[in-house]
Amino acid sequence: MEDMIFYDRLQFAFTITFHYIFPQLTMGLSLLIVFFKWKFLRTNIDKYNNAAKFFMKIFAINFTMGVVTGIPMEFQFGTNWAKFSELTGGIIGQTLAMEGMFSFFLESSFLALFIFGEKLMGQKLHFLTGFLVFLGSWASGWFILATNAWMQHPVGFEILDNGKFVLNNFSALFSNPWLLPAFLHNQLASVVTSSFVVASIGSFYILRKKQIEYGKLFLKTGVIFGLISSVLLAFPTGDWNAKNVAKHQPGSFAAMEGIFKTEEKGAEIVLIGQPNMVAKKLDNKIAVPNVLSFLTYQEWDKQVPGMDQFKKEELPDNIPALYYSYHIMVGLGTVFIGVMLVAFIFLWRHKLYKTKILLWTIMFLVPFPYIANLTGWYTAELGRQPYLVYGLLKTADGISPTVSSGNTLFTLLGFVALYMLLGLLFLLLVGKAINQGPKPQTH
């Protein structure tokens, strides 16, 4: 049984990790595409329109890869997680169906119109199609996070005698106190990723002395959007999410902050430390006294419950992984604010385009927003374990009893091989698009 649970979780973790590489870029990039198209309508300067069409090509490649890698993930609900689907399908099936029917079709339909319909529709309708692509991609995130929010903090339901969850308050799904902060935090994180991608492409063009006009536009836009979204990611949305966890999942909050023992006169915030699960403490700890109490409750001496206040089954089942995921996310977020702030100061002083060390830094930082996004998701999901529906349905009770661990491992190896090929194809296609650049070819 333990092998079955492990391989089922491992396969889902791998497929969703690889899948989320793509939506986190498309959601943020759709906003930047709308911005470029809006600038073109305002100024009638062609470089903004060319920038919008260029990034829509990259959007389309990401969108296609997201669709391809999302399909196996959906099928796992009916194979590896059949019991979970049977028990909760009456609730999560509704939000997932709405994501497919409304968001996916909206996004895909108007994506085709944006790419191929500019001459037929005119510029204002072309802008509208881009806006609807943006709306569809963000609505998709809303419905997916509504599903996840219900799993994190179940509301508006009742459990029948046969163990099935049924919805008795539809509006509760979308007024869930977990949903809005999670959605805003997630969308801003996608804007951070997209801003770094746009800025890094700009840095690449400037360093190569190729299409420098577009390089400067991309770098300026990426830095401005990146600074704003990085700051808003930390506060208020990151702070809001952390307070939600402290309120609704206090055991998970203690684990992700590394609080093994309750401090009577306020909790410290840990900057660096390694969880020692044998001694129940953090090794080599660097911490600032009382700050966590203030950030969480706005009181310096407020007690924050440690892990010693909870039963074992009330705590996450992999505390070190949760702790490290959370601190990697927070640490990288702090780095993003610092880098984008320095870049913005240099931009304001008209020195950014000539400061090679900053250009190289921005270009090589581009993988790290992806890592921060993924570790943020790991924090949310590891914090909920050992439950699929927090406090109500254990992960062990949601797997399919008819799918063996051997079958799951075999298909996992197949996914790894297939996704390596897809990843290589993705890099080749995006690399080709970047190499061609946004500047129209003259013949």
CB burial string 27-36: b at 16+ within 10 A, e below:
bbbbbbbbbb
Lowest-confidence region among 185-189, 308-312, 344-348: 308-312
441 band by pLDDT with thresholds 50, 70 and 90: low
- Residue 204's H or E segment, with its range, is helix 179-208
Which residues, 6+ apart, have CB-to-CB distance to 353 below 8 Å? 206, 215, 216, 219, 359
- DSSP for 364-384 reads HTTHHHHHHHHHHHHHHHHHH
CA distances from 304 to 97, 242, 374, 385 (A): 39, 13, 27, 21
Per-residue tokens: 55: 């990034």
- pLDDT at 181 exceeding the cut of 60: yes
Pairing of strands 393-394, 387-389: antiparallel
Contact between residue 419 and residue 105 where contact means Cβ atoms under 8 Å apart: no
Per-residue tokens: 310: 């909870």
Question: Rounded mean pLDDT of 222-244?
Answer: 97
Angle at 41 between CA 366 and CA 140, to 5 degrees: 50
Other beta carbons within 10 angstroms of residue 174's beta carbon come to: 15
Q: Quote the mean pLDDT of the chain.
A: 94
- DSSP for 41-85 reads HHH--HHHHHHHHHHHHHHHHHHHHHHHHHHHHHHTTTTTTHHHH
380 band by pLDDT with thresholds 50, 70 and 90: very high
Helical pair 212-232 and 23-43, crossing angle rounded to 10 deg: 120
Question: Rounded mean pLDDT of 87-94?
Answer: 93
- What is the reported pLDDT for 124? 95
Which residues, 6+ apart, have CB-to-CB distance to 186 below 8 Å? 141, 145, 376
Q: Based on C-alpha coordinates, what's the Rg of the chain?
A: 23
Question: Rounded mean pLDDT of 73-89?
Answer: 91
443 band by pLDDT with thresholds 50, 70 and 90: very low
pLDDT greater at residue 256 or residue 4: 256
Give the torsion sign (CA, 249, 252, 258, 260). positive
Which H, E and C letters describe 257-307, residue by residue? Answer: HCCCCCCCCCCCEEEEEEEECCCCEEEEEEEECCHHHHHHHCCCCCCCCCH
Contact between residue 32 and residue 131 where contact means Cβ atoms under 8 Å apart: no
Which residues, 6+ apart, have CB-to-CB distance to 311 below 8 Å? none
pTM of the model: 0.96
Can you say whether residue 306 is alpha, beta or left, with left for phi > 0 and alpha for psi between -120 and 50 degrees? beta
> Torsion angle of alpha carbons 202, 198, 345, 375, nearest 10°?
-140
